[in-house]
Amino acid sequence: MDSTSIARPDQARAQDTLRWGGMLGLTLAAAPSNADLAQALANAKAHNGSQLVNAHWRWPLTWSLALLVTPKNVTGDINVQFSIIFGSGDAQQEILRTVSFLNGDVDTAIDVSLVLPACDVLITPRSVTTSGEGGHPIVGPGAVEIGAFAAPRTEAHAGLETLACLCRLEGAGNADQRQGGWMPPGFYPEELRYGR
């Protein structure tokens, strides 16, 4: 296959607009303040863009999200606040979620507890801070990787499409019966549709 694209020509735009996950790398000085952290985040966004996830689907489904903070050669308390915008159509909601790496208690701080129902999900890092006097100051120099990923868990429409396809296949062999009738003659199920 000569093409580097896995999408059909009519889906080419989907490859440009969908972003299922991404990471930003922040370079940190020896003892960065909160102002230094804000500047490092601004520099990373200017170089790589601010969207870590920008996912859309035609029908509502549930998304599993993973938010990550991974220090490289850095110790101390690092708090990353993510902005998560999700919804369907004109019903959009923004929530803020903070993931904290606390002085090397783990290699990577990961939050995988969010499961959101939506057609659209957009995730951007909003701020990076250190706990300051009450916690452990950041000791570098080093770097911090910030990541966010999304994956669909369920899609209600997939079941309906599969059932409709099976009904069409079965109906093609029984042209004298109602198309999609998979029960004996005389049984006519209701049409499938979304409830409101």
Encode burial over 112-141: b for 16+ CB neighbours within 10 A, e otherwise: eebebebbbbbbbbbebbbbeeeeeebebe
Summarize pLDDT for 45-63 with one digit per residue, the tens.
999 889 999 988 877 788 9
Q: Domain residue spans in the chain?
A: 9-154
Q: Which CATH architecture is the domain 9-154 placed in?
A: Sandwich (2.60)
What is the pLDDT averaged over residues 2-12?
A: 45
Q: Strand, coil or helix: what is 19? A: strand
Report whether 118 contacts 87 (CB < 8 A). Answer: yes
Tell me the residue type at 114: L
Summarize pLDDT for 116-164 with one digit per residue, the tens.
988 889 999 999 999 866 778 888 899 999 999 998 887 666 666 777 7
Q: What is the pTM of this model?
A: 0.72
Q: Output the CA torsion sign for 108, 26, 150, 15.
A: negative
**Model confidence at 169: pLDDT above 70:** no
pLDDT band for position 6 (cuts 50, 70, 90): very low
